Amino acid sequence: MSDLFNNYIGGKWVESVSGETFDRKNPATGDLVATYTKSTPADVDAAVAAAKEAFKSWRLYPAPKRGEILYKVANLLVERKEEFAREMTEEMGKVISEARGDVQEAIDMTFYMAGEGRRMYGQTTPSELQNKFNMSVRKPLGVAGIITPWNFPMAIPSWKIMPAIISGNTVVFKPASFTPRTAIRFVQILEEAGLPAGVVNLVMGGGADVGNAIVEHPDVPLISFTGSNDTGIDVATRGARLNKRISLELGGKNAVIVMDDANLDLATDGILWSAFGTSGQRCTAASRVVAHTSVQKELVDRLVARADTMRMGDGLDESVDIGPVVSANQLKSINDYIAIGRNEGARVAVGGGIASDGNLGRGHFHQPTIFDDVKAGMRVAQEEIFGPVTSVIPVESLDEAIDVVNGVKYGLSASIFTADVNRAFRAMQDIFTGILYVNAGTTGAEIHLPFGGTKGTGNGHREAGTVAMDFFTEWQSIYVDYSGKLQRAQIDNQE
């Protein structure tokens, strides 16, 4: 008999009004992880009502005091890091070292945003009129709808929830149905740290019943969503009709440039980590390798030799390099792209199939796969696969490499390996992505700089860093006239 986990609404753990439940199984073993209450729009209504009521007092709660609660949250996460990491691996499959990193990112973000409780700076400016004072302040908007994916089930909620609540908003949080237990642990820590009832509310269930109800609720003025492009566009469309503020973090088709002067040992390490970490299920995964023709063969040989020895298995085994993908449907989608690549004329240099030997057959495992001699216009070089698959695209020059990098509909992350500082600065200048690495892979963003992408990757907002506050707050400009008379800007100051 598995544990049954419920929603968290208004400071209480409650079952859905539907009385229905859903199960989550370990993608590595097929074993049941837990059973969860399955929410309905009525549960969303209750969560929004609780958040709306809590907003009345939470927005007036001093921001430094909000920060003190977040410091408690961060310290509790530090204490439970190993426990939560192991549960995360059971729930979504990533290897244990990466799960620890996921929790650590939530720790980092929580400490960071706790400090913002004593900052959240506005501006003061001189007035053009005498005896008048000008300033701007940030104000929370109300109830924030937070909809998160399964691939970083503690890190990404922290990116959204922490800036939302430190700035005085309240939250209705819908995690992905593949990873509700990690979300529950996160909310339990918020509760234990003393977050007032109703400030964060958790509703579990699918996008059709729960996600859409949050997006379309009249009392939820802002939505922060991370997920697929198709779903994100639907969220934006629904929200636009209601004039909501929407933040989208969507897909990526990230590229690593390897120039002829690159350190190939370093490049190999960076590509393998970026392409196959989290089984390639990252929006920043390196799914393209843009290699100068003079190093292409040696680079591919190195990548193949290393990829061929990567060990697949249950991520709780410290010796495993690659865990399962998240579901049977995801496994099929990845493997379908292998057939697409072959039909387009790409050569499978290593991998290329579903792994089912021994215990692997109990889970959803795909071999780490490298396509070679890929043309930039092929589907495997244009479309997000979201699995352990990368494509090597040969180029003759840096100019061609930059064109290839920019020649997709996404613009999240890119990297270049080169020993030439001039080439590095050319890449910084001409590659149009939200994130760029020099002599590193495409993953590894730190929480104190903006995270997000260009073009089809999002809609212009950024997460992490101080700019995260821009989405969750509204500016108010304030003018204090202490002249004792009516003064008219732009009129009374004219000579």
Catalytically annotated residues: 249, 283
Q: 463 to each of 162, 234, 345, 371, 374, how far by Cα in Å?
A: 11, 20, 39, 32, 33
Which two three-digit tokens encode residue 432? 């149009």
Cα-flanking dihedrals φ and ψ of residue 35, to 5°?
A: -120, 140
Report whether 442 contacts 274 (CB < 8 A). Answer: yes
257/36 Cα distance (integer angstroms): 44
Q: 265 to each of 200, 303, 348, 372, how far by Cα in Å?
A: 46, 10, 22, 19
Nearest residue to 97 (alpha-carbon basis) of 263, 234, 277: 277
Nearest residue to 149 (alpha-carbon basis) of 182, 172, 171, 185: 182
3-state class (DSSP) for residue 223: strand
4/457 Cα distance (integer angstroms): 36
Rounded to 5°, the CA angle 246-251-256 comes to 135
85/104 Cα distance (integer angstroms): 9
